[in-house]
Amino acid sequence: MFISFEGIDGSGKSTQARLLTDHLRAAGRAVQATREPGGAPGAEEIRRLLLEGAPDRWSAETEILLFTAARRDHLEKTVAPALAAGRIVVTDRFVDSTRVYQGITRGDLRDKVDALHALMIGREADLTFVIDMDPGLGLARARSRKSGEERFEDFGENMQRRMREGFLALAREFPERCVVIDGNRKVGAIAADVARIADEHLP
């Protein structure tokens, strides 16, 4: 079982991925918790190239290549071995983030994202939680973290709004694996929904 969390910056993905991991482990299940970009040593090096520096550092096309390179390393070194060992993988972001961030925010590059994904990755999550939330609130939360990884957050609230729409459109496009979760609530209420839905999908 391969579970991904998706949504705009500051929507609560990392928080919910951690709480789901805790919930599954408390039930005695083996879980590999991971994230993108990153999740393996080489992919984490690519993460730094992507998230630090000026917003115009890379073109959208170059970003698609870098995110896909990081994803390939993550898949080879972390995701595939964990799934083969029978562990549940919980990832904070996967290819849906590339479909939205690189695929729609600077022109229509979705076909290129999908073509490269088919060629180099060829795998979707089995279950995707799309955490939906107010873009202004998400941006405020993300900025309050001050991680030094603000390259994308610098794009501003208008872009966050388009990305939110993009994630909701993806959830409609892939209804068999995507569940939209209302993130504008207390952490515990969201986590309870996520845990219940994950349990329903697990054998």
Tell the smallest beta-carbon distance from residue 183 to ligand ADP (Å).
6
Q: Which residues are CB-contacts of 81 (< 8 A; sequence separation ≥ 6)? A: none
For ligand TYD, the binding residues in 41-60 under the rule CB under 6 A are 51
Residue 87 DSSP symbol = P
Tell the smallest beta-carbon distance from residue 203 to ligand TYD (Å).
28
**Stretch near ligand ADP under the rule CB under 6 A, chosen from 11-19, 69-77, 82-90, 113-121:** 11-19
Binding of ligand ADP by 187 (CB under 6 A): yes
- Helices and strands per DSSP (H, E), number in the chain: 9, 5
Tell the smallest beta-carbon distance from residue 27 to ligand TYD (Å).
26
Amino acid 162 reads R
One character per residue 109-128, x = contact with ligand TYD (rule: CB under 6 A)? --------------------
Q: Which two tokens stand for residue 153?
A: 């957050």
Q: Across the strands, what pairs with 121?
A: none
Backbone φ and ψ for 184, nearest 5 degrees, come out as: -85, 45
Q: Which residues are CB-contacts of 125 (< 8 A; sequence separation ≥ 6)? A: 2, 3, 4, 91, 94, 177
Long-range contacts of the stretch 199-202 (C-beta < 8 A, 24+): 199/27, 201/1, 201/126, 201/127, 202/1, 202/29, 202/88
Among 152, 180, 181, 191, binds ligand TYD (CB under 6 A): 152
Among 1, 2, 10, 109, binds ligand ADP (CB under 6 A): 10
Binding of ligand TYD by 37 (CB under 6 A): yes
Tell the smallest beta-carbon distance from residue 50 to ligand ADP (Å).
15
Summarize as ranges the residues that interact with ligand ADP (CB under 6 A).
7, 9-15, 141-142, 145, 186-187, 190
Summarize as ranges the residues that interact with ligand TYD (CB under 6 A).
9-10, 13-14, 36-37, 51, 67, 92-93, 97-98, 101-102, 142, 152
